[in-house]
Structure 1
Amino acid sequence: MGLSSVLRSALLILPLPFLLKRFQYCRSHVLAHAYCLHLEIMKLACSSIIVNHIYGLFVVTCTVGVDSLLIFLSYAIILRTVLSIASRQQRLRALNTCVSHVCAVLLFYIPMIGLSLVHRFGEHLPRAVHLLMSYVYLLVPPLMNPIVYSIKTKQIRQRIIKKFQFVKSLRCFCKD
């Protein structure tokens, strides 16, 4: 599974540098992000970028579409198996784990889709929106993933609730 995932990624991304190399660049060579983004580089080109647009949409659609289908099928199998478990407690525990996994997957895909849409169709948006979306895409998944999985731990959840109650009591204390 890991090898097929790496091969798929490599095969989908491999043509991008070659597609970018054939362009003539006449605009500024300054990128708006702290990292190299295919959409931004191809917008610096003077020639037609329609092939790159089509290929980029194909890569995003193929990646998100295939991944979504496989995730849906795996969760359908998991739910079928979980619902066949006799104990209600075990079912709830298994479904709790599934919810965490779905949240982690959404934390990865939503910023990716948002960034892609902003770069493709948000040319009229301020530059700050583009920067914000790029940093959300870059930082939110790795920062939020541990939080999603640690919230399930009872001790951590209780400490977080206790902290929020402390902040709430401070706010009430300050009002008086």
Structure 2
Amino acid sequence: MEPMTEQQVRRSFVNCSKGEANAATLPRDLADLPWDGLELLGWRDPKAPLRGYLVVQREGRPVGIALRAAESRMSARRSVMCLLCRSTQSGDAVSLFTARRAGEAGRNGNTVGTYVCADLGCAARTRTEIPPWLQDRDPVAVGEERVAELRARVEEFLEAVLRSG
């Protein structure tokens, strides 16, 4: 991922108003992130705990999605899979996130949703958390496969947000 400025991140959001984008609390360490190791920038807003954001590079430019987490949490005794990075975690570490669709569909209240790591840390997990059934393979190759799969699933979710209906 290419390094981004605060202004680039704020302008990238496709499913919220400029006012909402300007009100978002960006990661404090934005300038110091390891950009070359990120496929996806994801974070929760510390000032609005139910809000989260995902930003990806698409066709050479950043595209961001504003998300809202479900107010209820799943049981920690249950194992749940993030549908973006496909890591399995306790239920309280995965949350249902919804995103308003872009454009008129979103203004009309249409949303799409998926289960995602509650901390939106999918990018790091794809490289560091190798599932047990893949641990006998080359870790670098597995990491590269998981990164490519994450990109594809994020792209599918982004397409659903951009779809008009």
Higher relative contact order (CA 8 A, sep 6+): 2
* TM-score over 0.5 (shorter chain): no
Which structure shows the bigger proportion of residues in helix conformation? 1
More strand by share: 2
